[in-house]
Amino acid sequence: MTIPDLLRTSRTIAVVGISEDPSRPSAEVAAQLMRRGFTIIPVNPRLKEWRGIPAYPYVSQIPEDITIDIVDVFRRSEFTPDTVRDVLKRKNLPRCIWLQQDIVNAEARRLSEDAGVFYVEDRCTAVDAALARVQV
């Protein structure tokens, strides 16, 4: 699978570490992805909702009947293995676990790949969606 193919065939993105602060990268990237037509699922234990969309504390608490294509992670590198472990608790795994630009972790990569989940790190979903000219 290539990143452009992944983005062109995806619809729903869970954004882990999303912020209410519009100046934060997580909020800006999520807003850009929404403008491209993606459905955003906010994930942050400190939020009840984001822009009127119900938020979940953890990916594992998103109802199983909601298909997640990409889990887009905005957390410090050292916390990403725990985030991946949480994602892997779901029966219906996402197609991809994506660590945002400047976020890299070998253990998170290994966990994701061992579970058969496509893995991307140190890249921005919004930039790649724009480069691939994705419009859902």
Convert the pLDDT of each residue in 95-121 to its tens digit.
999 999 999 999 999 999 999 999 999
pLDDT of residue 133: 80
- Taking the C-alpha atoms of residue 109 and residue 57, their distance in angstroms, rounded to an integer, is 22
For residue 43, the surrounding DSSP H or E stretch is: strand 39-43
- Taking the C-alpha atoms of residue 127 and residue 19, their distance in angstroms, rounded to an integer, is 19
Say which CATH architecture domain 3-131 belongs to: 3-Layer(aba) Sandwich (3.40)
* Nearest residue to 40 via CA among 63, 69, 60, 61: 69
pTM: 0.95
Q: Where are the domains of the chain?
A: 3-131
pLDDT of residue 136: 65
Q: Is residue 87 within 8 Å of residue 71, measured between CB atoms?
A: yes
pLDDT of residue 77: 96
pLDDT of residue 34: 95
To the nearest 10°, report the CA torsion of 55, 102, 68, 54.
10
Q: Which residues of the chain have pLDDT under 50?
A: none
